[in-house]
Structure 1
Amino acid sequence: MSTTTRTALITGASAGIGAAFARTLAADGLDLVLVARRKQRLDELAQELTTAHGIRCEVFPADLGDPAAPKAIAAFAAERGLAVDVLINNAGLSGNDTFADTSWESLAGEIQVMVTAVTELSHLFVPGMKSRAWGRIVNVSSLAAFAPPGESLLYTGIKSYVLNMSQALDMELKPHGIHVTALCPGFTRSEFHDAMGSRDAASKLPAALWQDANDVAQTGWAAVNAGKPVCVPGAINKVLSHAMRPVPFRAQYLMGKNLNPLAH
């Protein structure tokens, strides 16, 4: 399959796993639409990738906490004549205060960025993928999706939603040539913990638990092209995910696909 005419849209592309996906896909020859809040970071990354790989790279600064952002992103791509074949829903955040002490605006922002925007962007771009009979969607979930609920955190519930939603979409869309993967990384070296104010606690974790963002992105890209609905990168994380969930996720996927009374 030639990827020279494919276009990928990546949210949260200014750093971490998002920037790693941009580098991975650019190296495969895909054109890119990079979305994040920090325009300067996006411009610098776009310049790096166009110089290194000769691809087309468009930049759209946007805050996915704004409910209007998904439609604005889709309109931007359409105005520039870009058909989005690959969608990487990577943008994320997590609060570090208790539920009761966090403002509703902050809680609603978490849900908007990691639930509503992920779902809406998928809904906006899937019709075009279906019309072309080809598409790839990677929704960045987390190893936390397999874990018991964390006190005061919406994060585990949100990432569980992303895990389940991705599998449901894959069941529906795979017959149309569209693969959907829930990418569930564990602790990954990025700016995430700095932004969330949890760097000190995270730095105390054993080095063996940490992964490189480029490895995570490359593993996720290989998984979605291979048609895997769930990808847990890293041997230790795979062990942890199975230990935290007594029913293997492949069995859950097959049960959900074959035993759903609402399935068409």
Structure 2
Amino acid sequence: MPPSRPLSLVTGASAGIGAAFARELAAQGHDLVLTARRVERLEALAQELRDQHQTTVTVLPADLAGPAAVPRLCEALDARGLRVDWLINNAGYGVPGTFDAAPWPVHEAFFRVLMIAPAELAWRLLPGMRERGYGRIVNVASLAGHAPGSAGHTLYAASKAYLIKFSQSLALENRQHGIHVCALCPGFTWSEFHDVTGTRQLMNKLPTFMWQSAEAVVREGYEATERGDVVHVTGRVNRFIKAMMKLLPDKFTLWLSAKESKRYRDLGALD
């Protein structure tokens, strides 16, 4: 049985899907721990949720690119006696341009935030979930994890495919312990993501029917996780795209990816 007021840890909670998850979980009666780098935004969101939902919100700023960030975050949870029931591994970003255009430390930081931190947080928090017989882990992946890799944002699709496979294995290992694990796979989502990567002008060329709001993505993700869905692609358009990708030959989908990448990716040295 779930606790009367589950405690949810949301990474990357200062904006976009992370902030939308915080709002949804607070509305569902959860207490929250919010983490991200931007302290002022976290504090503003925390106060909003306290005022609207009378929920307890703890702000623990962290930069997950640092190798000691996750251990320190978990130590801070332990010091406050906070036991996490829902883990939302949402923190992420993109590195635009070709693979060789960025220095290695940039890629290393990307790996830590999008791949190492989600796995380490799950590893550190799973024992408590198992002991209590209840837990939920949402790994925010992407439709990109189901599609062929594209030129530009070289590591992004690869990291999301990793989260999908990781979620599947983790779900199989922990289902009998009352723990649901879901890889949430949105497509194009209205958020700051493309502003941060400098690709907003390119992304605005895409038709509006391909976009979802962060709130719509989170509502689907919450319901899918509670149902026990292991992988959930949000939106009918995105589910259609995923189905077509599975049916079409790899050679054709790679050609299509190469063609479309020129429209909405910063290809840097390839231009």
Q: TM-score, normalised by structure 2?
A: 0.89
How many residues are treated as equivalent by the alignment?
A: 247
Deviations 1:69-96 (A, max 9, x none): 1111111111111100000000001111
Q: Which runs of 5+ in 2 are unaligned?
A: 249-271
2:259 aligned residue: none
Deviations 1:5-42 (A, max 9, x none): 21000000000000000000000110000000000000
Structure 1 CA distance for aligned equivalents of residues 212 and 73 of structure 2: 30
The residue type equivalent to 1:160 in the other structure is A
Give the Å deviation of 1:3. 5.0
Structure 2 CA distance for aligned equivalents of residues 53 and 144 of structure 1: 34
Structure 1 CA distance for aligned equivalents of residues 27 and 78 of structure 2: 24
2:214 aligned residue: 213
2:148 aligned residue: 148
Give the Å deviation of 1:229. 0.1
The residue type equivalent to 1:230 in the other structure is V
Structure 2 CA distance for aligned equivalents of residues 8 and 133 of structure 1: 16
Q: Where has structure 1 moved over 4 Å in runs of 4 or more? A: none
Structure 1 CA distance for aligned equivalents of residues 2 and 66 of structure 2: 35
Secondary structure, counterpart of 1:174 in structure 2: helix
Deviations 1:114-139 (A, max 9, x none): 00001000101000000000000000
The residue type equivalent to 2:103 in the other structure is S
Q: Is the 8 A contact 1:3 1:29 kept in 2?
A: no
Give the Å deviation of 1:149. 1.3
Q: Which runs of 5+ in 1 are unaligned?
A: 248-264
Deviations 1:230-256 (A, max 9, x none): 111100000011111249xxxxxxxxx
Structure 2 CA distance for aligned equivalents of residues 2 and 125 of structure 1: 16
> Bigger CA drift: 152-161 or 27-36?
152-161
Asked if 1:75 corresponds to 2:75, the answer is yes
Q: Is the 8 A contact 1:3 1:28 kept in 2?
A: no
Secondary structure, counterpart of 1:245 in structure 2: helix
Deviations 1:110-163 (A, max 9, x none): 111000001000101000000000000000000000111112411111100001
Structure 2 CA distance for aligned equivalents of residues 83 and 5 of structure 1: 11
2:254 aligned residue: none
Asked if 1:176 corresponds to 2:177, the answer is yes
Structure 2 CA distance for aligned equivalents of residues 246 and 108 of structure 1: 34
Structure 1 CA distance for aligned equivalents of residues 80 and 55 of structure 2: 15
Quote the sequence identity (%). Answer: 47
Asked if 1:85 corresponds to 2:85, the answer is yes
Structure 1 CA distance for aligned equivalents of residues 241 and 216 of structure 2: 18
Alignment root-mean-square deviation, CA: 1.2
Structure 2 CA distance for aligned equivalents of residues 112 and 2 of structure 1: 31
Deviations 1:183-219 (A, max 9, x none): 0000000001001111111111000000010111111
Secondary structure, counterpart of 2:8 in structure 1: strand
2:59 aligned residue: 59
**Aligned 1:1-264 pairs, distance under 5 A:** 4-152=4-152, 153-246=154-247
Secondary structure, counterpart of 1:61 in structure 2: coil
The residue type equivalent to 1:180 in the other structure is V
Structure 1 CA distance for aligned equivalents of residues 83 and 26 of structure 2: 16
Structure 2 CA distance for aligned equivalents of residues 222 and 77 of structure 1: 26
Q: Is the 8 A contact 1:6 1:86 kept in 2?
A: yes
Q: Is the 8 A contact 2:2 2:134 kept in 1?
A: no
The residue type equivalent to 2:5 in the other structure is T
Give the Å deviation of 1:101. 1.5
Structure 1 CA distance for aligned equivalents of residues 4 and 42 of structure 2: 22
The residue type equivalent to 2:219 in the other structure is Q
Secondary structure, counterpart of 2:101 in structure 1: coil
